[in-house]
Amino acid sequence: HWSWEEGRAALTAAGRLVDTELAERRNLILFNPVEGNTYATVRTLIAAYQAILPGETARSHRHTPNALRFILEGEGSYTIVDGQRLEMRPNDVLLTPNWSWHGHGSEADGMCYWMDCLDAPLVHLLEPMFFEQHPDGFEPITSEPVSSPFIFRWEDVQADLDRTDPDPDGFHGRRVELGSPALASIALYMMRLSGEATRPRRTTANHVVCVAEGTGETTIDGQTFSWSRGDMMALPSWRPFTHRPDGDATLFVMTDEPVMRTFGWLREEAAG
């Protein structure tokens, strides 16, 4: 479990100390301190908090890892994906699939914050790791579409959640998938819980969870963590977990389920 309060404070301090010329991205990696791990959050995925200052740009690049962002705070930042300028607003989800150009900018008054998730640890393991800087530094804008396959707007996701019934088995609450899957290696879900604990479950798929709304606690493999907006959790493969929201709560879930499914390794069961 990583606390947004701590992550935000560290990034705010980094805003005074590190610029995007030096760092490329001002990000804070959610390193999972388990034996043998060097940087990943779960085996296949890495998550990070990232911040951008008013007027700043973070130069464009592309890489073989697939990536996505979930916006935590601030209005006025944007990302340019393959020339498309996309506004980033709180709770929006933006995709940068494998090898698409992306750079970030901000015209906000204050600092803007989001979280990133990439399949870099999986790419690292398999070795097809490639990275390129954009020849222009910050990629020029060629269009400003109102909607794009690279973006899931919070209003649309909420409307989908409102139309969705709770899952009859009690594992997920009301749950919608963003994309099908959103990225070749990463599936995304928004889960809306309404006061009741989810039925304990385990799956071979690794999950990273970001709290979008509400408070509660989650027990993962016997350890219980309290959470509130912006906090992140690692639900590693085959460890049982259950979420207990205090009231209404919304969890944003990122998972390597497509990888497990593709290779015939996806197993799920009730756990307790």
Binding of residue 41 to ligand GTQ (CB under 6 A): no
Q: Which is nearer to ligand GTQ, 29 or 197 (CB)?
A: 29
Cα–Cα distance between 186 and 8 in angstroms, integer?
25
Q: How are beta strands 216-220 and 223-227 bridged, if at all?
A: antiparallel
Of the candidate residues 40, 42, 45, 48, the single one contacting ligand GTQ (CB under 6 A): 48
89 counts as binding ligand GTQ under rule CB under 6 A: no
Kindly tell me the burial class for residue 29, based on how many C-beta atoms sit within 10 Å of its own C-beta (0-12, 13-18, 19 or more): middle
Q: What is the dihedral of CA 233, 234, 235, 241, to 10 degrees?
A: -30
- Taking the complex as a whole, the smallest distance from the CB of residue 102 to ligand GTQ amounts, in Å, to 6
Asked if 118 interacts with ligand GTQ (CB under 6 A), we say yes
Q: Is 172 in the site for ligand GTQ (CB under 6 A)?
A: no
Q: Identify which of residues 116 and 257 has a Cβ nearer to ligand GTQ in the complex.
A: 116
Tokens read off for 253: 């879930």
Which residue from 25, 153, 239, 244 is in contact with ligand GTQ, where contact means CB under 6 A? 25
Distance in Å, CB of 214 to ligand GTQ, minimum: 25
**102 interacts with ligand GTQ by CB under 6 A:** yes
**Does 80 interact with ligand GTQ (rule: CB under 6 A)?**
no
Would you count residue 116 as binding ligand GTQ (CB under 6 A)?
yes
Q: From the CB of 39, what's the least distance to ligand GTQ, in Å?
A: 11
Q: What is the DSSP string of 184-209?
A: SS-EEEEEEEESSPPPPEEESS-EEE
- The answer to the question of residue 27 lying near ligand GTQ (CB under 6 A) is yes
Q: Per-residue contact track with ligand GTQ, 237 to 266, x per CB under 6 A?
A: ------------------------------
In angstroms, the Cα distances linking 207 to 21, 46, 97, 163 are 32, 11, 19, 25
Please state, in angstroms and as integers, the Cα–Cα distance from residue 14 to each residue in 52, 76, 78, following that order.
10, 20, 20
Residues 46 and 40 sit within 8 Å (Cβ to Cβ): yes
**Please, what is the minimum distance in Å from the beta carbon of residue 207 to ligand GTQ?**
18
Decide: helix, strand or coil at residue 155.
helix
Q: Is 50 in the site for ligand GTQ (CB under 6 A)?
A: yes
Considering beta carbons, is residue 50 or 84 the nearer one to ligand GTQ?
50
| CB burial of residue 161 (10 Å; 0-12, 13-18, 19+) | middle
Count of other CB atoms within 10 angstroms of residue 97: 20
Residues near ligand GTQ (CB under 6 A): 25, 27, 48, 50, 63, 67, 102, 116, 118
